[in-house]
Structure 1
């Protein structure tokens, strides 16, 4: 059984989409489709059915998935063990988008220290564009950023997280028993985080197609500040779900369901130079985020 075919299969399941899986694996869409056809021929069964842009597992696909995931994990672990002599620096400089620094880095670093106990880590936080500039200037070794393309760097998507609408539990929309329409949002005070993001552009375009306009009262570039203002009841805010997990669990924020789902994801990528060898540290961070979030 070809491990690359299994890898394509697992990535499509993770991303619910052939194109996004292809991007994560640095493959063309026809290549990843060919790998799935090869696997389906080998297994003599259909593994996916298409529903719009999503790729849904068949019953046989669901049976295969846990085995494929284990086989891929064993392969990656074996590859990692065989490459223990790969260059491991004594210090690593990681550039992070601000939100990643707040939410993912505290999860990554303890595990990174277990794997590389002598490693010293320097974290630099800034906007994704500035982190890419620091990569260009060799001020950091790799970056965890919003997906940005650059000819000199690999940018591999490692996390695709849904964006939702969140409010204080005391907000009037939080007490409704039915999903909220986009028309209702036009009369609400909106707090907007990261107005340069593709999510912001998508939401604004969507409202304009319906001749609606968001009443944006505050724009911020700091997610913590945005969440605090929402918790104080100053407005509602579109935020990635991974960033509000603790607040939702502790009932400090609530998700407001929409009648028309936005289907927007915040995508996080690991960016590193094409001209330098890929260290075990980069591989570890990439794999950890991909499999644990």
Structure 2
């Protein structure tokens, strides 16, 4: 069975059309169609229903999909092991979001240098979309960013960081027991927005309240948001890693609400499928040891 035919099948499903799959594979649309038809002949079944320009996966296609994905993954892992070089690269190019650069990298990089003394580390920051594109274009080796769904990328979870309300010392909420989220209605709120879906979940909780909170300041920079809370300009929902030091020092205090329980910011290592897996495993173990300490 031709691995390129299965790759075309998976890409058509991911992108929702033959044309988009062809663009992603740097092929012509007729070439993708020919690969799908070849796979259908091998399987002796129809994988897609074609209605005009629309394609819909058939029941046979749905049943075959997980096997195609697994075979592709096995092939890529096998290719990696065949081409594996024991010599580590001289330089590791790491992209990261601003939050990761501010709160995770400074404590992590010395440990990485100790573990891999022969590697030079080159860091750059950007948004998740920008970093994912750079990984795909091989401009960087890996990115520490939000999860991304792309057939050529592997997203290995490194950190799941709870998002909690943080208030400053002396705030009235610290005197309350069994505080309900409705109490936010009368409070000036600083809102840190990083564009991830979890922040949208918090917005939806606000919209469900009879009296939504007053968002007086909105920023896309967590450090700015944190400093505004420290200056008592308002209170703010922040990822735990952002405020960890200030909480330990007794300058910020997390408040839990049942409605926001389980809302977290996820940081992943984005790499090309089958590449830098050993390095990512080491990275995962280091971050787990640091955050559980």
- Tell me the TM-score range normalised by the shorter chain: 0.5 to 0.7
Pairwise CA distance, 1:261: 4.7
Alpha-carbon distance change, 217 to 195 in structure 1, aligned in 2, over 3 angstroms: farther
- Cα deviations across residues 154-196 of structure 1 (Å, max 9, x unaligned)? 011121121110011132323x231321211022111111252
Higher Cα Rg: structure 1 or 2?
2
Equivalent residues of 1:94, 1:123 under 8 A apart: yes
Instruction: Give TM-score, length-normalised by structure 2.
Output: 0.66
Q: Is residue 2:131 matched to residue 1:131?
A: yes
- Equivalent residues in 2 for 1:1-293, closer than 5 Å: 86-174=86-174, 176-258=175-257, 260-274=259-273, 277-278=275-276, 280-293=278-291
Alpha-carbon distance change, 259 to 153 in structure 1, aligned in 2, over 3 angstroms: closer
- Cα deviations across residues 183-218 of structure 1 (Å, max 9, x unaligned)? 110221111112522222111112223344231111
Pairwise CA distance, 1:288: 1.6
2-structure distance, mates of 1:142, 1:135: 6
1-structure distance, mates of 2:171, 2:137: 46
2-structure distance, mates of 1:161, 1:89: 31
**Secondary structure, aligned partner of 2:132:** helix
CA-based RMSD: 2.1
**Secondary structure, aligned partner of 2:186:** coil
Unaligned runs of 5+ residues in structure 2 are 1-65, 67-83
2-structure distance, mates of 1:229, 1:158: 28
Instruction: Give TM-score, length-normalised by structure 1.
Output: 0.66
Pairwise CA distance, 1:278: 2.3
Unaligned runs of 5+ residues in structure 1 are 1-27, 29-83
- Cα deviations across residues 4-29 of structure 1 (Å, max 9, x unaligned)? xxxxxxxxxxxxxxxxxxxxxxxx9x
Question: Which one is further off, 126-135 or 98-107?
Answer: 126-135
1-structure distance, mates of 2:85, 2:226: 44
Question: Which one is further off, 277-286 or 221-230?
Answer: 277-286
Equivalent residues of 1:191, 1:218 under 8 A apart: yes
2-structure distance, mates of 1:278, 1:140: 12
Alpha-carbon distance change, 195 to 215 in structure 1, aligned in 2, over 3 angstroms: farther
Aligned length: 209
1-structure distance, mates of 2:258, 2:270: 36
1-structure distance, mates of 2:258, 2:160: 22
2-structure distance, mates of 1:132, 1:268: 13
Equivalent residues of 2:202, 2:260 under 8 A apart: no
Pairwise CA distance, 1:260: 4.3
Equivalent residues of 1:164, 1:255 under 8 A apart: yes
Equivalent residues of 1:183, 1:212 under 8 A apart: yes
1-structure distance, mates of 2:160, 2:277: 23
- Cα deviations across residues 54-97 of structure 1 (Å, max 9, x unaligned)? xxxxxxxxxxxxxxxxxxxxxxxxxxxxxx96341011110111
Alpha-carbon distance change, 135 to 277 in structure 1, aligned in 2, over 3 angstroms: closer
1-structure distance, mates of 2:275, 2:255: 45
2-structure distance, mates of 1:138, 1:195: 25
Pairwise CA distance, 1:114: 0.9
**Secondary structure, aligned partner of 1:233:** coil
Equivalent residues of 1:94, 1:141 under 8 A apart: yes
